[in-house]
A = this chain, B = another copy of it.
Amino acid sequence: MFPDILKRLRKNKQKTQKEMAEFLGITRQAYGHYENGSRQPDLSTIEKLADFFEVTTDYLIKGKERNVTDTDLSDDEKKMLAFFKNPELNLFFKEMAQSKEEQLEEMRQIWEIIKKRGLTK
């Protein structure tokens, strides 16, 4: 699946294997291996390719776009959404959703403590 997509993306960008290889810092043949599926690039190369072609790594690897819609939500996620919509909690979580990552990390740590205490006492 991956090989054909790669080839198509390259053709669309009007690039030769040689050019792609130079961009990646490998030989033309090595890049050619990717396109005919005989070899697989490592993760850093995947990233470079995804960036170059401006696609997600998901698309390169699986060949599928991942548009997340509300119908894609799991039951747990739906439950959480309902929970978050609770008017009494709304402000609290709305604020958290907009907070900095460091503050969230603190919350996570504190939560661990509260959880443990709740079990033992």
Interfacial residues, chain A to chain B (CB-CB below 8 A): 2, 40, 42-43, 46-47, 50, 54, 56-58, 61-62, 66-74, 76-77, 79-81, 83-85, 89-90, 92-100, 103-104, 106-108, 110-111, 114-115, 118
Contact = CB atoms under 8 A, between A and B. Distances in A.
Contacts of A43: 2, 40, 46, 61
Nearest to A56: B58
Contacts of A110: 107, 110
A10 B8 CA distance: 35
Give 4 nearest A-B pairs by CB, closest first.
Answer: A83-B97, A57-B57, A80-B97, A57-B58
Given A97-B83, A103-B118, A107-B114, A56 B47 contact: no
